[in-house]
Copies of this chain bind each other. A is one copy, B any other.
């Protein structure tokens, strides 16, 4: 096997032309480290005992189910070994992001070797007993997952779904000028859309202020069953692909370990020198502003499953897709396979790597950096420990005065924008906050932030551009994937951010959200992981106000998607006006380890609550708006509850309440507004869940509740189905009736307009229908009149456009 030949050669010769990069001592240490890591990776996939092979392998030593990915592991180990040398030699502050996240065996092996695994899991000692535990736990019930996840020290990247490594790496590098993020990109992953567009991230990295990302594109040639595109295109095309996106590729190509060590060391030294040169030039205040030179990228070309079994039962394994998972599949039953496994593991010469007690020999650890510089111990990869609490300007100075509900109007997101502007200004000395969004900051009416900052842009500018600069704090690129990926990397390294997005298109990152929530759920259970700032979404340009864009831009389903996730992690907020938006945003920016979704409007809409009332209402999460119903007129239960969640539904419910007071005086109406949607769930289901007694007191247990909801009605049913009064709940919301039309017509099409809500009340309050027949007819007539009016006039009825709340 390859490794055996290599082991005997590794220490005694180094090519003259590589001599500057790797002396024979370093070469020997790196090679031993690599062999040790490979040994440990193979062991994890197969063994539950006999880790050091001190006795002949027996079936009982082998795991009953062989689950894990070998193919990528030796390459990841190779990178890790060389990065260790680089860190140690140059005293680097460096973390890794491993795109081939299924290479869990490699990440765990290296963490065990550098001691960081034992730091966090003291029972997994760095000796034979610990090695047996490491092996047995891997991908086993009650053990550790086969993918790299939050449990792996030094990781900030959920190793499940492919495509997000490079975006995460950039997120980590932003505002960390001294950090280098080495990012292994798999050649399979490179075919995904998110990864393909991530290369352009370098256009948004400011070398004067941000750290560096060193991508290592690992061409091992195969995916699960197919070759990879990048491995089969001509080499000059791959060079061209990277060069044309601002990168300067250097190849490390081969399968002979000895030669490869030298090539890798040379490539890494050269990459580091280039990084330093770019940074030095661009950090010189006198530097000419003549663009950013290309950044180094390493293309590492090795066989897949390198150093593993070359052929098994006559079929080639190493260098093919067949090494993707478990190269030898029959080791428990098949003595020959078991023998091959032993040969394979022994080919790494474990006697040279571990002492009799299974402890890594000092020669191996010679290339491991010290303490916090170890890849597994870098504090950026446990970002919570570095998190600085944001200086949030007091809300009071930004809240709008509200003497009487509904008297004035504001654009909620514009009011928020003034606060965000001052957050950015206050944060300027620290550089720990950024705003992310796909080209929509101004469109979403947050453009006051441009009073104090710019959009990040390192490419040339023109006079007709608006607020572009390399040192901006607003990240805009037309890729929701990049916004999300950058932000995740930024948060997981301990900084703060907000992602503002058109509501419909946030579905683009549904799957990324899944992975991030899984990360947070796992991380929260690990005492050594410090809480990180929450992932905050501001969804605006929402379903009800797509006047420009119509049906294709209408989808409120992200709320449903998020609501499926672990209750511990997710929060959904629907502030009804400007002041409530401010208090909700403040709460979210102060929170940790959560995903907060805020849906808010950007169009002028009435201010309902004074700052004091807004603060109280947001703290409670939901509440009775007594001024909006006829609450003061009755001591007993209301005849009907009008509930609302979301800015547009709130307006409609208030208009309906007003119509009811006018047309059906004496009807006892209660208006309930819900800001924190999770309050609707029982306590048993969600930490924010309202106790049943309180829920019942607010919504009643037997009176009809007409609920106007921002999203799909089923979400409210789903959150409340265990509530006593659930059978009385009638929910209106979006039901996929969309087109390009007026705001009020959207409501009519989806049966959530004020007239329909009044009809709902009449239909559902027992005994009301007979005496309210004329009112019901008037409401139906109003809807008909609306239909005719908008077709003729192209805008809503004046009585709708000019409607104002009167108490």
A residues apposed to B, CB below 8 Å: 48, 63-65, 67-68, 101-102, 136, 139-147, 149, 158-163, 188-189, 191-198, 200, 203, 223-229, 232-233, 237-241, 243-246, 316, 319-321, 325, 439-443, 455, 457, 459-462, 464-466, 468, 476-482, 504-505, 507-508, 510-511, 514-515, 518, 521-522, 547-553, 555, 557, 560-561, 564-566, 712, 714, 717-718, 721, 727, 736, 738-742, 745, 790-791, 793-795
Contacts and interface: CB of A to CB of B under 8 A. Distances in A.
A518 B508 CA distance: 16
Nearest to A66: B548
Contact of A319 (B464, B522, B791, B794): B464
Contacts of A197: 191-193, 195-197
A794 B564 CA distance: 30
Smallest CB-CB A-B distances: 6 pairs: A160-B552, A193-B193, A240-B244, A196-B197, A507-B511, A232-B459
A542 to B, nearest CB: 15
Most chain B beta carbons < 10 A, residue from A145, A239, A745: A145
A14 to B, nearest CB: 32
B549 A160 contact: yes
B229 A146 contact: no
Given A189-B478, A229-B203, A466-B321, A515 B552 contact: yes
Nearest to A521: B736
A353 to B, nearest CB: 26
Contact of A439 (B223, B243, B549): B223
The residue among A243, A321, A741 with the most chain B CB atoms within 10 A of its own CB is A741
Nearest to A507: B511
Contacts of A510: 507-508, 510-511, 561
A239 B239 CA distance: 13
Contacts of A515: 552
A604 to B, nearest CB: 15
Nearest to A519: B552
Contacts of A460: 232
A102 B549 CA distance: 8
Nearest to A557: B564
A439 B188 contact: yes
Contact of A740 (B139, B481, B565, B740): B139
Contacts of A161: 504-505, 508, 552
Contacts of A794: 48, 63-65, 136, 140-141
Nearest to A227: B465
22 contacts: A67-B548, A67-B740, A140-B794, A147-B550, A160-B504, A161-B505, A191-B477, A192-B480, A193-B481, A196-B196, A196-B200, A225-B440, A226-B457, A227-B457, A237-B246, A240-B241, A321-B464, A507-B511, A507-B561, A508-B510, A717-B717, A718-B718
B142 A316 contact: no
Contacts of A522: 551
A479 B244 contact: no
Nearest to A318: B464
A745 B481 contact: no
Contacts of A159: 552
A557 B551 contact: no
A164 to B, nearest CB: 10
Nearest to A189: B478
A653 to B, nearest CB: 22
Nearest to A245: B241
A564 B64 CA distance: 42
A63 B741 CA distance: 13
A548 B146 CA distance: 7
A552 B227 contact: no
B226 A468 contact: yes
Name the residue in A158, A193, A549 with the highest tally of chain B Cβ atoms < 10 Å from its Cβ: A193
A565 B191 contact: no
A458 to B, nearest CB: 10
B203 A566 contact: no
B224 A439 contact: yes
Contacts of A139: 548, 550, 740
A802 to B, nearest CB: 14
Contact of A552 (B149, B478, B504): B149
Contacts of A477: 191, 229
A481 B232 CA distance: 21
Contact of A244 (B203, B244, B466): B244
A782 B457 CA distance: 61
A229 to B, nearest CB: 6
Nearest to A320: B464
Contact of A466 (B225, B232, B555, B717): B225
A766 to B, nearest CB: 19
A459 B229 contact: yes
A460 B232 CA distance: 6
> A68, A189, A240: which has the most chain B beta carbons within 10 Å?
A240
Contact of A142 (B478, B479, B791): B791
A163 B443 CA distance: 20
Contact of A790 (B142, B194, B228, B480): B142
A480 B316 CA distance: 29
A189 B478 CA distance: 7
Nearest to A164: B193
A460 B191 CA distance: 17
Contacts of A476: 225-226
Contacts of A147: 549-550, 552, 740
A497 B200 CA distance: 33
Nearest to A726: B721
B200 A229 contact: yes
A157 to B, nearest CB: 11
A64 B477 CA distance: 33
A141 B240 contact: no
A113 to B, nearest CB: 22
Contacts of A457: 226-227
